[in-house]
A = this chain, B = another copy of it.
């Protein structure tokens, strides 16, 4: 048994969407009381740190509706059910950047918002990029622009809050600790 475990008494589904499911669970607390937990279920995702031969970093800019602004992020995308994360990683890299790789290094994985959501992101790194000849289609409701940046440019984007999401800010620190 995990410390402070909260056993589910019953789970009520609130919403079953394309990206997320939402439920409200009654749980038994460690002190014997009952409380509720609002839970968002997500398929999980991958993100790829992609470094070019001349030490530039591939990033994608896209509009993020919850923030009501466009931000610059590491290439990333949702897992398909049953898909191995490294397969998703190569697919998203190809679709979003026009490059592929056969040398993908697993960095780590993390939960983005453990308080209410089970989204887990698997992070990869590659500095072995090969341009693909055939353009891959994005999702039909996906609009983004890929560009490469120097580390100094990325630092400025963070200051300007044009890079403003945690996985990308983690990726930048990772690169610095790796010597970039």
CB distance from A21 to the nearest CB of B (A): 10
Instruction: Given the known inter-chain contacts A38-B19, A143-B30, A170-B169, please indicate yes or no for A65 contacting B4, CB distance below 8 A.
Output: no
**Quick one: copies of this chain in the complex?**
2
Contact with B along A16-35 (1 / 0, CB 8 A): 01111010110101110101
Taking CB atoms, residues of chain B closer than 8 Å to A110 are 164-166, 169
- Bound-state CA distance A170–B5 (Å) is 26
Contact with B along A47-91 (1 / 0, CB 8 A): 000000000000001111111111101000000000000000000
- Interface residue? A39 (CB, 8 A): yes
> How many A residues, CB 8 Å from partner?
69
Contact with B along A158-170 (1 / 0, CB 8 A): 1000001111011
- Interface residue? A116 (CB, 8 A): yes
Taking CB atoms, residues of chain B closer than 8 Å to A19 are 38, 115-116
Contact with B along A168-180 (1 / 0, CB 8 A): 0110011011000
- Interface residue? A14 (CB, 8 A): yes
Chain A positions within 8 Å of B, measured between CB atoms, are 2-6, 14-15, 17-20, 22, 24-25, 27, 29-31, 33, 35-42, 45, 61-71, 73, 108-119, 121, 140-141, 143-145, 158, 164-167, 169-170, 173-174, 176-177
> Could you list some 21 contacts between A and B, CB below 8 A?
A2-B69, A3-B145, A4-B62, A4-B143, A6-B63, A14-B22, A18-B38, A29-B143, A33-B141, A42-B116, A64-B111, A66-B114, A66-B115, A66-B117, A67-B114, A71-B114, A110-B164, A113-B165, A114-B165, A166-B170, A170-B173
